[in-house]
């Protein structure tokens, strides 16, 4: 790992709290979509308002995301100066607590972690937990030593905050990898870039199902009726249902009892937007959970 890398991450996260805020730019398409969902679904207002604030935090750092770096591994979180990252972690925790998405005790703990250097250790552990036991050997990436210790002592609240803090950088890498033709050869159920699980999917106009990584938002084609979590491909053991408007579909596995939501882009007027669509489908989560899936 060269020093260029650490400089890269440093640049991304350096935010100067003393600098006056920039005037607001025009709203992104995602924010426009979220506001329109808020109109038709006032019951989602809390989740939507939180997401809009998180998108704004991301947008502030996204302007500084430099050239993509393909050497993605746990070292991405090692930086000689993590002050900017620590600030972002604390800001995200603030937003989440204000919207009731973080318990007080978790908030206090994360603020403390966000102030000291142990954050880097936690961030590394978070990254390794996403890599799972998969090897991220795809597409010319070097093989990395995968540790399983990351599965011990999960800390969901902190992991959620770290995932949001790393997202601008992770998605920038995924955007750079997305057009590579080798990606079409990837047939596994975990992400070719970061090794994480998919947490959303899109049905393309050609009726293919593409999985979307929960951490970096990379998309890749996967068999339409195989459970990406356990590999079950027995159609009679996959329960699939659509929303009345046909916009979303749920694939629920009767083997491992997990489910995956998908955006059906076949008749849609806009492309899939994972951040927007995961909020818009919160009622589907409730429905799937009531039916015993998780
Ligand atoms: Zn990924
Ligand atoms: Zn399954």
pLDDT per residue as tens digits for the range 86-115: 788 899 999 999 999 999 999 999 999 888
Mean pLDDT of 114-131: 81
Ligand nearest to the CA of 231: 2
Residue 65 binned pLDDT confidence (cut-offs 50, 70, 90): low
For residues 233 and 227, the answer to whether their CB atoms sit within 8 Å is: yes
Query: Measured between alpha carbons, how far apart are the two ends of the chain, in Å?
Result: 38
- Centroid of ligand 1 to alpha carbon of 292 (angstroms): 27
Helices 118-131 and 156-177 cross at an angle (nearest 10°) of 70
- Centroid of ligand 2 to alpha carbon of 184 (angstroms): 23
Ligand nearest to the CA of 257: 2
CA 279 to chain centre: 13
Ligand nearest to the CA of 258: 2
**151-161: per-residue pLDDT in tens?**
455 688 998 99
- Centroid of ligand 1 to alpha carbon of 46 (angstroms): 27
Ligand nearest to the CA of 219: 1
Instruction: Work out the number of other CB atoms within 10 angstroms of the CB of residue 132.
Output: 17
**8-35: per-residue pLDDT in tens?**
333 333 333 344 444 456 788 999 999 9
- Centroid of ligand 1 to alpha carbon of 163 (angstroms): 11
Ligand nearest to the CA of 218: 1
pLDDT score for 135: 44
Q: Which residues, at least 6 apart from 230, have a Cβ–Cβ distance to it below 8 Å?
A: 253, 255, 256, 258
Ligand nearest to the CA of 193: 1
- Centroid of ligand 2 to alpha carbon of 251 (angstroms): 9
**247-290: per-residue pLDDT in tens?**
999 999 999 999 999 999 998 989 999 999 999 999 999 999 99
pLDDT score for 280: 94
- Centroid of ligand 2 to alpha carbon of 281 (angstroms): 20
């Amino acid at each position: 790992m060269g020093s260029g890398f650490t400089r890269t991450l440093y640049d991304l996260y350096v935010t100067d709290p003393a600098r006056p805020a920039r005037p607001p730019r025009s709203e992104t398409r995602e924010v426009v979509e979220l506001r329109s969902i808020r109109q038709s679904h006032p019951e989602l207002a809390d989740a939507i308002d939180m997401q809009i604030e998180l998108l704004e935090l991301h947008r502030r750092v996204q302007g500084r995301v430099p050239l993509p770096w393909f050497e993605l591994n746990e070292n991405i979180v090692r930086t000689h100066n993590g002050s900017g990252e620590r600030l972002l972690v604390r800001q995200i925790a603030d937003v989440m607590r204000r919207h009731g998405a973080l318990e007080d005790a978790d908030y206090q703990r994360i603020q403390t972690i966000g102030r000291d250097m142990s954050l880097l250790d936690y961030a590394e552990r978070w990254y390794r937990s996403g890599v799972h036991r998969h090897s991220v050997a795809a597409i010319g990436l070097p093989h990395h030593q995968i540790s399983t210790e990351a599965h011990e002592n999960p800390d969901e609240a902190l992991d959620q905050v770290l995932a949001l803090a790393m997202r601008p950088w992770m998605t920038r890498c995924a955007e750079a990898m997305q057009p590579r033709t080798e990606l079409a050869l990837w047939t596994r159920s975990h992400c070719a870039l970061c090794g994480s699980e998919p947490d959303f999917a899109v049905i393309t106009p050609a009726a293919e199902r593409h999985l979307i990584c929960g951490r970096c938002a990379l998309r890749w084609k996967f068999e339409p009726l195989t459970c990406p979590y356990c590999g079950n491909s027995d159609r009679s053991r996959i329960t699939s249902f659509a929303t009345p408007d046909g916009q979303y579909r749920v694939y629920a596995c009767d083997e491992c009892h997990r489910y995956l939501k998908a955006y059906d882009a076949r008749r849609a007027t806009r492309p899939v937007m994972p951040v927007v669509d995961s909020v818009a489908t919160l009622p589907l989560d409730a429905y799937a959970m009531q039916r015993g899936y998780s």
